[in-house]
């Protein structure tokens, strides 16, 4: 049935071109079921290995190659799909058997040059296949600098946050450390920087979905935990000190949960776009009160008691807690405080609070 064979081949070729364009060329959020299947095929064995690791450092080491291997696997998958699609087209117009059609197409697609046909119809398919291989490989090569540039910009702020929020980062620790060195007023700059960071991550991680899978250079850091810590610090500032909270805190919060929602749309994760401030959250009041006590013990002054601030804090956190903890679970990141459960580890890794020491005393 040459007609049916040709139609199937054309659909495979067109579908693969669509996947390549959506992944590498179109600079806007798009869905590609083919690349999602390819990534899932890569992720499953690595996650299987990570689930059997007993420490978060070992988990991070096991999951680090996922993004890089996935990029390589996408290229292999696209070329294989083109090979099959063009082979079906060859068979439809030439009457070749399966092996001959695959051989003819493979020679053209990979520009090997050791076999060709003199038929006019086949020559047209050969030319298109021969052009496809270098184009796809060239697009993939050009895609990598853009990808790693966006990754580098993301990680600069994540790395800078380590001195300000501990490792792993935690929202109350940000307030404690800023208060400890008398720089509470400088929180305005921190929130402004992270508002800009959230906007950039929203754009890059929806246009290039694989970026979400790139992990930080150190296992105790991760972009999702860092964003959560800044949002928690902003929510605490607004709830505990409404009279002194900078407007940048509110803007950073909104930019943060918009970023999470944009990425969730690409990942097809459901969420409530307009949750009620009274909706229960996973974080308990006792944990919030203990965090406030930790911040005030380090010099952070408050206008409201924890009991008075809790309803407003909960009203802010309900906008982002579910998605932040969902991403932390799916990406299996370092189990920082307030970031929810993980797949296999029950421990929580808390940042070490710095203690003022005399000069010459090692830290």
HEC profile for 99-127? Answer: HHHHHHHHHHHCCCCCCCCCCHHHHHHHH
How many Cβ atoms are within 10 Å of 147's Cβ, its own excluded? Answer: 17
Spatial distance between the Cα atoms of 291 and 109, rounded to a whole number of angstroms: 60
Give the model's pLDDT for residue 202.
95
Give the model's pLDDT for residue 331.
95
> Which tokens go with 219?
């296992």
Give the model's pLDDT for residue 123.
59
Give the model's pLDDT for residue 2.
77
> Which tokens go with 357?
């020491």
Give the model's pLDDT for residue 109.
84
Question: Rounded to two decimals, what is the model's pTM?
Answer: 0.87
Whether the Cβ atoms of residue 254 and residue 190 lie closer than 8 Å to each other:
no
Number of H helices, E strands in the chain: 14, 0
pLDDT in tens, 17-42: 999 988 888 877 777 888 889 999 99
Give the model's pLDDT for residue 353.
56
How would you write the pLDDT of the chain (363 residues) with one tens digit per residue? 778 888 898 999 999 999 998 888 887 777 788 888 999 999 999 999 999 999 999 999 999 999 999 999 999 999 999 999 988 888 887 777 788 888 888 888 887 655 555 454 555 777 788 888 888 989 888 889 989 999 999 999 999 998 888 889 999 999 999 999 888 888 999 999 999 999 999 999 998 999 999 999 999 999 999 999 999 999 999 999 998 888 999 999 999 999 999 999 999 999 999 999 999 999 999 999 999 999 999 999 999 999 999 999 999 999 999 999 999 999 999 999 999 999 998 888 888 655 443 333 333
Q: What is the sign, positive or negative, of the torsion defined by CA atoms of 28, 34, 37, 38? A: negative
pLDDT above 90 coverage of the chain, percent? 64
Give the model's pLDDT for residue 119.
52
How many Cβ atoms are within 10 Å of 96's Cβ, its own excluded? Answer: 18
Give the model's pLDDT for residue 359.
39
Determine phi and psi for 67, rounding to 5 degrees. -65, -45
Q: What is the sign, positive or negative, of the torsion defined by CA atoms of 141, 144, 149, 150? A: positive
């Amino acid at each position: 049935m040459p007609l049916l064979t040709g139609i199937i081949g054309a659909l495979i070729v067109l579908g693969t071109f669509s996947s390549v364009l959506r992944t590498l060329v179109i600079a806007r959020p798009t869905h590609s079921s083919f690349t999602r299947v390819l990534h899932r095929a890569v992720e499953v064995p690595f996650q299987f290995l990570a689930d059997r690791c007993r420490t978060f450092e070992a988990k991070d080491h096991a999951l680090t190659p996922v993004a890089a291997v996935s990029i390589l696997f996408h290229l292999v998958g696209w070329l294989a799909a083109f090979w099959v699609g063009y082979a079906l087209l060859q068979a439809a117009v030439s009457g070749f058997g399966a092996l001959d059609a695959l051989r003819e197409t493979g020679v053209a697609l990979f520009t090997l040059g050791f076999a060709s046909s003199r038929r006019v119809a086949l020559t047209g398919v050969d030319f298109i296949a021969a052009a496809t291989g270098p184009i796809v490989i060239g697009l993939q090569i050009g895609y990598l600098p853009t990808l790693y540039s966006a990754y580098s910009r993301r990680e600069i702020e994540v790395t800078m946050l380590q001195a300000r929020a501990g490792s792993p980062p935690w929202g109350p620790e940000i307030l404690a450390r800023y208060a400890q060195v008398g720089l509470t007023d400088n929180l305005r700059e921190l929130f402004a920087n992270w508002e800009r960071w959230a906007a950039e991550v929203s754009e890059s991680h929806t246009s290039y979905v694989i970026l979400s899978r790139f992990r930080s250079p150190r296992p105790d850091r991760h972009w999702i935990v860092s964003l959560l810590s800044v949002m928690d610090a902003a929510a605490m500032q607004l709830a505990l000190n409404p009279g002194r909270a900078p407007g940048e805190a509110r803007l950073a919060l909104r930019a943060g949960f918009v970023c999470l929602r944009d990425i969730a749309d690409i990942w097809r994760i459901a969420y409530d776009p307009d949750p009620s401030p009274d909706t229960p959250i996973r974080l308990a009041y006792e944990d919030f009160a203990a965090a406030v006590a930790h911040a005030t013990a380090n010099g952070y002054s408050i206008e409201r008691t924890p009991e008075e601030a809790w309803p407003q804090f909960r009203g802010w956190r309900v906008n982002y807690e579910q998605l932040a903890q969902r991403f932390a679970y799916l990406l299996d990141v370092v189990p920082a405080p307030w970031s929810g459960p993980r797949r296999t580890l029950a421990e929580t890794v808390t940042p070490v609070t710095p203690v003022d020491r005399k000069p010459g005393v090692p830290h």
